[in-house]
């Protein structure tokens, strides 16, 4: 009998192929899952790093300004123009165009005296330009605060000039270098400019004014030996009020005398921190761009950090409305409850940042908190 030769090369059965394909798919799915986890971890680290960097830049700058609050100011602050002949409250957080970047931009009272410049002006629920809402802020809507800090700029050598009022209404002040070599040019980069706030003391009185014009003259080189500062009325910050009964440069001019050296002159930094929102015009419904802004004196605000979506301050304040005075820790609104900013001892700061990269619409939100001692404010021998 002839028998058919058996095939020596057998293939896979259909069942074996299906099992091997299933196993291969499982291995590929596991590898894809691991790859996705790795990518997600990379994105998460990148987002958190971005948010932390933005927050730290903003917080470091705020801490520097807050730590100087009240430096160079008279004990308790400065009375701004008030009384008979005043032209309304003075302003902060505003620029030369007349735009004010926080909702409540006038100085508060000090007891019965209105229009008072403290070393720190808390801005409870006053932290977003135009009162806008921040859509990325946590729900319920987070409170956003501003803060205004005032301190003297000792890096700029106005003290090396002899300053004299040239008229009794305090609208012009002449400067003459008191030492050689001459101090740095007062119109140079970083020098005096329109919108700066100048504090002048003389005759036992102190007042501040906004610089509306600066004319310098000198040796024609890199130094200036003389100059004239102008403090015209109706300035954007409403600080120059020569007709006001109290708190005007005219009072200092009369008390000191015309063409007589004043006791001291210094530039002040009045620094306001707040948040500003804007919609990106790239496409309809684009997310907000939220920025932490820093506005100094009457100058144009500059952005400090992006995607800061929440800014809150609380203050450790000695409550002088009770006897004996007690410490009110974490007081969010000291002015609102009748406490004086002069008694602020420490500032507690909380910032919430959001990552700039928004992969899959999943941004990362992080909090950063710190506190700053107000070493130049009122001293208490206890805490």
pLDDT of residue 298: 93
pLDDT of residue 240: 97
Q: How far apart are CA 294 and CA 291, in angstroms?
A: 10
Could you tell me the pTM of the whole model? 0.84
Kindly give, in sequence order, each residue whose CB lies less than 8 Å from that of residue 57, ignoring residues fewer than 6 positions away.
Answer: 304, 305
CB 202 within 8 A of CB 263: yes
Four-CA torsion 180, 181, 185, 189, nearest 10 degrees: -140
Cα-to-chain-centroid distance, residue 6: 90
pLDDT of residue 129: 92
First to last CA, the chain: 114
What does 173-184 look like in DSSP terms, one character per residue? EEEEE-SSSPPB
Beta bridge partners of 161: 177
List the chain pLDDT tens, one digit each, 383 residues. 555 555 555 667 877 778 888 888 888 888 777 777 766 666 666 666 676 777 888 899 999 999 999 999 998 899 999 999 999 999 999 999 999 999 999 999 887 788 999 999 999 999 999 888 888 777 666 789 999 999 999 888 788 889 999 999 999 999 888 776 666 667 667 788 899 999 999 999 999 999 999 887 654 444 456 789 999 999 999 999 999 999 999 999 999 999 999 999 999 999 999 999 875 544 455 567 889 999 999 999 999 988 888 999 999 988 777 777 778 889 999 998 888 898 898 999 999 887 766 554 567 778 888 999 887 876 565 54
Q: How far apart are CA 28 and CA 2, in angstroms?
A: 50
pLDDT of residue 41: 65
Is the peptide bond between 93 and the residue preceding it cis, with omega within 30 degrees of 0? no
Q: How far apart are CA 49 and CA 57, in angstroms?
A: 12
What does 284-321 look like in DSSP terms, one character per residue? TTPPEEEEEEEEETTSPPEEEEE-EEEEEEEEEEEETT
**Which of 242, 241, 245, 211 is CA-nearest to residue 227?**
211
Provide long-range contacts, Cβ within 8 A and 24+ apart, for 16-21: none
Sort 2 into a burial class: Cβ within 10 Å, 0-12 / 13-18 / 19+: exposed
């Amino acid at each position: 009998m002839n028998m058919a030769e058996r095939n020596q090369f057998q293939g896979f059965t259909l069942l074996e192929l299906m099992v091997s394909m299933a196993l291969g798919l499982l291995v590929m799915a596991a590898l894809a899952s691991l790859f996705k986890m790795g990518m997600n971890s990379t994105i998460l680290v990148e987002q958190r790093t971005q948010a932390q960097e933005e927050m730290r830049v903003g917080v470091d700058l705020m801490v520097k300004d807050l730590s100087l609050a009240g430096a160079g100011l008279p004990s308790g602050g400065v009375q701004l123009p008030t009384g008979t002949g005043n032209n309304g409250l003075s302003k902060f957080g505003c620029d030369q165009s007349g735009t004010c970047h926080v909702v409540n931009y006038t100085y508060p009272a000090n007891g019965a005296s209105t229009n008072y410049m403290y070393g720190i002006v808390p801005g409870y629920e006053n932290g977003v330009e135009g009162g806008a809402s921040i859509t990325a802020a946590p729900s319920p809507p987070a409170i956003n605060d501003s803060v205004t800090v005032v301190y003297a700029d000792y890096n700029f050598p106005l003290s090396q000039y002899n300053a004299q009022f040239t008229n009794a209404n305090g609208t012009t002040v002449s400067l003459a270098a008191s030492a050689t070599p001459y101090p740095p040019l007062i119109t140079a980069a970083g020098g005096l400019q329109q919108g700066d706030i100048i504090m002048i003391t003389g005759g036992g009185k102190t007042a501040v004014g906004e610089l509306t014009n600066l004319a310098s003259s000198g040796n024609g080189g890199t130094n200036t030996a003389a100059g004239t500062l102008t403090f015209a009325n109706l300035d954007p910050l409403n600080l120059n009020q020569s007709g006001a009964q109290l708190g005007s440069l005219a009072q200092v001019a009369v008390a000191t005398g015309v063409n007589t050296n004043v006791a001291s002159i210094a530039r002040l930094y009045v620094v306001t921190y707040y948040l500003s929102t804007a919609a990106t015009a790239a496409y309809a419904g684009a997310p907000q761009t939220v920025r932490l802004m820093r506005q100094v004196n009457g100058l144009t605000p500059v952005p400090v950090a992006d995607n800061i979506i929440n800014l809150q301050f609380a203050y450790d304040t000695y409550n002088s409305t009770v006897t004996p005075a007690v410490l009110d820790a974490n007081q969010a609104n000291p002015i609102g409850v009748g406490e004086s900013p002069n008694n602020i001892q420490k500032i507690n700061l909380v910032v919430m940042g959001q990552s700039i990269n928004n992969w899959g619409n999943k941004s990362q939100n992080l909090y950063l908190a710190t506190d700053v001692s107000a070493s130049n404010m009122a001293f208490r021998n206890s805490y």
